[in-house]
């Protein structure tokens, strides 16, 4: 049995137990479903229920609201371990914990926390709706509008590329209440799936992480009570910036897990595959390639873990978050590509797992801030 190299000295006994529990769950409960979910482009509903039952959908939610009361680092470990088997499930867990739950924990009123957090911990998937057709890297060029009418707001507009949209029962939606105020007019709303005037539109047909639903959201005179404003009117920009900075660390963890899974498959195959009378792992060229992959994985792990620890310690982490996402996404694409090459011809077909991981890796450089945007952040914070 081949296992990826692993840093254990920086993990407590409780963290090691949690990590290993999630890893076993992924290998036993998720792995048998991966190919079917990818081909059907659909998350298995029974698997989602088991994720809730294990507590993986409410990791940071306080125990008083039915959650695990875990740290941000715990969420990162869970995303990493799940992603070693299926990064599509990894991003489901990621968005739930590091974006939706964290935003509510940090910004919701006591009444909102009491209403929404127990549901997120028990059985309700959350989604985070920021992106639009005209606002990608320029995330705050929002065209979705919210107009105050009495004790409610009316939302009109469309969101694109919203992760978890098909499964979600709760959405954090960003809209502009005053276009003249620029980013200071952006406001966050908590929108229920059954809100009048709200529709989940078509699901994107994607290259990778195909089981993860990525959909359009349509708001047509969507009525949202004023009590469901998250934070304060005009604070949406701050909410989005802070939660996305945290979410980038989790994307780094997703890419780290993906690379670990690809490395493990490649190393095991290299021990089994024989050419010229011996396993290909005995050739020095193959050993060096696997060693280089393992080194890059370890470097990414230390960067991801460090950024998560800084966040939990309430220390500045924006630069480290950008660095770990940038590095881990590049590393994952390279490691997954090399894994396909180690498998040779069979690595290019869907009967073997590395083909899917290679497809899944590409999104890491794109969502929650492209590599170009991470470099801009890194440059600003290191050169100023």
Q: Which residues are catalytic?
A: 368
d(CA 245, CA 106): 14
Q: Could you tell me the CA-to-CA distances from 248 to 82, 137, 186, 317, 381 in Å, in that order?
A: 17, 14, 21, 11, 16
d(CA 329, CA 362): 8
According to DSSP H, which parts of 64-206 are helical?
A: 72-83, 87-94, 102-107, 110-122
98 within 8 A of 249, measured Cβ to Cβ: yes
Q: Could you tell me the CA-to-CA distances from 358 to 93, 178, 248, 254, 338 in Å, in that order?
A: 20, 43, 20, 13, 9
Q: Could you tell me the CA-to-CA distances from 11 to 14, 295, 298, 302 in Å, in that order?
A: 8, 19, 15, 12
d(CA 238, CA 336): 35
End-to-end CA distance of the chain: 48
d(CA 105, CA 344): 47
Q: Could you tell me the CA-to-CA distances from 14 to 4, 8, 257, 301, 324 in Å, in that order?
A: 21, 12, 20, 19, 24
299 within 8 A of 330, measured Cβ to Cβ: no
95 within 8 A of 150, measured Cβ to Cβ: no
d(CA 235, CA 107): 10
Which residues contact residue 285 at a Cβ distance below 8 angstroms, ignoring those fewer than 6 apart? none
Do the bridges between strand 229-230 and strand 274-275 make them parallel or antiparallel, or are there none, so unpaired? unpaired
């Amino acid at each position: 049995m081949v296992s990826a190299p692993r840093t254990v000295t920086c993990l407590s006994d409780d963290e090691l137990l949690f990590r290993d529990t999630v890893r076993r769950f992924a290998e036993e409960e998720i792995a048998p479903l991966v190919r079917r979910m990818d081909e059907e482009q659909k998350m298995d509903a029974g698997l989602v229920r088991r994720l809730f039952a294990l507590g993986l959908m409410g990791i940071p939610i306080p125990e008083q609201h039915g959650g695990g009361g875990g740290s941000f680092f715990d969420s990162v470990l869970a995303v990493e371990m799940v992603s070693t088997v299926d990064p599509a499930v990894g991003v489901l867990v990621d968005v739930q914990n590091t974006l939706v739950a964290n935003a509510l924990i940090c910004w919701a009123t006591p009444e909102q926390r009491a209403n929404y957090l127990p549901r997120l911990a028990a059985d309700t998937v959350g989604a985070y709706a920021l992106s639009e057709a005209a606002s990608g890297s320029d995330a705050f060029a929002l065209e979705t509008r919210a107009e105050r009418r009495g004790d409610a707001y009316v939302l009109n507009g469309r969101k694109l590329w919203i992760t978890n949209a098909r499964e979600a029962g709760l959405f954090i939606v960003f809209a502009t209440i005053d276009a003249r105020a620029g980013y200071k007019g952006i406001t966050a709303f908590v929108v229920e799936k059954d809100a009048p005037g709200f529709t989940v539109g078509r699901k994107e047909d994607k290259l990778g992480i195909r089981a993860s639903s990525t959909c359009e959201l349509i708001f047509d005179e969507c009525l949202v009570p004023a009590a469901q404003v998250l934070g304060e009117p005009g604070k949406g920009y701050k909410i989005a910036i802070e939660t996305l900075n945290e979410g980038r660390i989790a994307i780094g963890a997703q890419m780290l897990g993906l690379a670990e899974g690809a490395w493990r498959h490649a190393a095991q195959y290299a021990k089994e595959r024989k050419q010229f009378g011996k396993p290909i792992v005995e050739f020095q060229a193959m050993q060096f390639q696997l060693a280089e992959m393992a080194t890059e994985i370890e470097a990414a792990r230390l960067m991801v873990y460090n950024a998560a620890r800084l966040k939990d310690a309430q220390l500045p982490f924006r630069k480290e978050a950008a660095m770990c996402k940038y590095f881990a996404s590049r590393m994952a694409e390279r490691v997954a590509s090399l894994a396909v090459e180690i498998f040779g011809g069979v690595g290019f077909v869907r009967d073997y797992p590395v083909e899917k991981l290679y497809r899944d890796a590409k999104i890491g450089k794109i969502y929650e801030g492209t590599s170009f945007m991470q470099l801009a952040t890194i440059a600003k914070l290191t050169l100023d």
